Amino acid sequence: MGKISMDLDAAMRNDPAARSKWEVFWTYGGFKALYRHRFAHWFYTHGCKGLAQLISAGTRRKTGVDIHPAADIAGGVFIDHGVGVVIGETTKVGTNVVIYQGVTLGGTGKQTGKRHPTIEDNVMISSGAKVLGAITIGHDSKIGAGSVVLKDVPPHSTVVGVPGRVVRLQGEKVEDLDQQRLPDPVRDEIDKLRARIEQLEKSLGNDGGKDAE
């Protein structure tokens, strides 16, 4: 019951609209999802995986929050307006983490074993953010709304964008936004087009020189 009490405290601490723990307990979908996950996780780790999956499926129907029963979630986590939140099987979430609606803590589909993120303590993940793969989000970091994070994030960072880039570190602005060189399909295609245009221009230039002769 310790973790559940910590979850209630986290809701009161992070949601200015929360008027009482009783209100959180009976009406908050994010809290209900975590509450039910605590039981599902216990059954899962004690050999009752079928029952754990049933509890998880019921939670998804009731709250719109999809948490795999194997996910390791510490006490003191707050899921705010949790509809659309997805937390994968090998995810590990630390204490005092705030997760907003539409967040995915998922895999990339290319890994086995540990394939979901580790979220350290005191992290905030804003609405619609996707944190994918066996990466670590360092403690006291913030992930901006709609960001797609594919690489490890150092502690005390602010990440924004698609793909996610560190824009603040230890409270200081990061000037070099390409410091992590995360995959950027749009940028790669533009680079290919530029190279092709240069090649065509050179080819046309050579042909023009021959005609002149």
pLDDT at position 180 is: 47
Indicate whether 150 pLDDT > 70: yes
User: Under a CB-based contact definition with an 8 Å cutoff, are residues 169 and 156 in contact?
Assistant: yes
Task: Give the length of the chain.
Answer: 213
Q: Give the integer Cα–Cα distance in Å for 186 and 104.
A: 22
Q: Which residues contact 212 (CB under 8 A, 6 or more apart)?
A: none
For the residues of 63-109, what is the DSSP string, one character each? HS-EE-TT-EE-SS-EEES-TT-EE-TT-EE-TT-EEETT-EEE--S
Tell me the per-residue pLDDT of 11-38, one tens digit each, with 9 for 90 and over.
Answer: 999 999 989 999 999 999 999 999 999 9
Mean pLDDT of 90-108: 94
The 10 Å Cβ neighbour count of residue 66 is: 18
Indicate whether 176 pLDDT > 70: no
Q: Give the integer Cα–Cα distance in Å for 153 and 73.
A: 19
Q: Give the integer Cα–Cα distance in Å for 140 and 153.
A: 11
203 or 180: whose pLDDT is higher? 203
Indicate whether 213 pLDDT > 70: no
Q: Give the integer Cα–Cα distance in Å for 84 and 103.
A: 7
171 or 12: whose pLDDT is higher? 12
Tell me the per-residue pLDDT of 77-96, one tens digit each, with 9 for 90 and over.
Answer: 999 988 999 999 999 999 99
- Structure pTM? 0.76
